[in-house]
Amino acid sequence: MAFIISAMHGERMEREILEQPSRIAASAARFASGLGEALRGRDFEMVVLAARGSSDNAARYARYLIEVHLGIPVSLAAPSVITRHHGHIRYRNALAIGISQSGAAPDVAEVLEALRTDGHFTVGITNTPGSRLAATAEFTLLLGVGDETSIAATKTYSATLLALYELTRALGADLPASTSHIYSEEWLRTCAAAARETAGPVCRCSPVFCLGRGFGFSTAEEAALKLMECALIPAKAFSTADFHHGPKALAGVNSSIISFDGPQLDLAAQGAEIFEPPLSPASAELKPLWDIPFGQYLALFAARNRGLDPDHARHLRKVTETL
């Protein structure tokens, strides 16, 4: 049974969430073959990731995949070191990966330009052919998920996760191919139902925290970003471990925890309301791909509950350019 798109705020965001299973399934084999060919025979001493916003959250996912499965140290670039402070960083035999759905982020492109000038191999991941990032990188992987017109990144974010999973495999990680591990529309229905039940309580709670650890830390960061930009809910993401080093003092009555790291019984005992995504059959490595639709739907339904239109988020544009 196909979804019926709601004729209300966030119609475009909802439609783009619904495109995810077919779009990413159609891209998985292309990602694997393209990255396999580009990286075959190359060895790197480190990986440098440059990104902003949702792409930066995806980069955190890649960091855990690469360090856990390959033992290669990963650095998340601070672009202002290059763009504002004109620093020169002495990387050694690095793979530099720039991630920007629009491909227009000038600071991400400048990081790649600097590393390419120093002789490092550069990869760009973007949804926009002909963009600055695509012109800068030696090899560009196009996400190819079609135009994304809602302010919130949804299908481009999921496709980026998949691309980074396949990039890790192309570098030599012993991970199964993603082609047979992609969710269906049925999973989206499950996530939508859970998010609809969660949205009301989350809108009533303050503060709101998103927790995750390891591979799931990226999902906590992305879910918090979606709640902020779509529903104007001040949500803060933490590593579950870091949360217990102080911020847990705020977890009490009227607070909510959106946990991508299990039930958090100690925080529930403090009075916080705990919400979790539906339990998926995915491996730990692919769980972020399966969990993020819950976070996307939660932001969408919370926005609607508050009378907001996430397709036209306040004070935001689809393409953000920073230096």
Q: Model confidence over 183-205: pLDDT tens digits?
A: 999 999 999 999 999 999 999 99
Note whether residue 316 is domain-resident.
no
pLDDT at site 313: 66
DSSP 3-state assignment of 316? coil
How far apart CA 323 and CA 304 sit, in angstroms, is 33
Q: What is the pLDDT of residues 229-262, one digit of tens each?
A: 999 999 999 999 999 999 999 999 999 999 999 9
Q: What is the pLDDT of residues 171-188, one digit of tens each?
A: 999 999 998 899 999 999
* Pair 132, 20 in one domain: yes
Domain that holds residue 291: 185-307
* Pair 288, 200 in one domain: yes
Note whether residue 35 is domain-resident.
yes
* Pair 174, 265 in one domain: no
Note whether residue 33 is domain-resident.
yes
How far apart CA 10 and CA 316 sit, in angstroms, is 15
The 10 Å Cβ neighbour count of residue 81 is: 14
* Pair 163, 222 in one domain: no
* Pair 128, 275 in one domain: no
* Pair 40, 93 in one domain: yes
Q: What is the pLDDT of residues 268-319, one digit of tens each?
A: 999 999 999 999 999 999 999 999 999 999 999 999 999 999 888 665 554 4
Q: How many structural domains compose the chain?
A: 2
pTM for this model (two decimals): 0.93
* Pair 160, 196 in one domain: no
Note whether residue 201 is domain-resident.
yes
* Pair 274, 299 in one domain: yes
* Pair 103, 163 in one domain: yes
* Pair 172, 42 in one domain: yes
For residue 141, list its beta bridge partners. 125
How far apart CA 198 and CA 134 sit, in angstroms, is 39
pLDDT at site 218: 97
**How large is the average pLDDT for residues 156-164?**
97
* Pair 168, 235 in one domain: no
How far apart CA 129 and CA 144 sit, in angstroms, is 9
* Pair 113, 171 in one domain: yes
Supply the CATH number for residue 264's domain. Answer: 3.40.50.10490
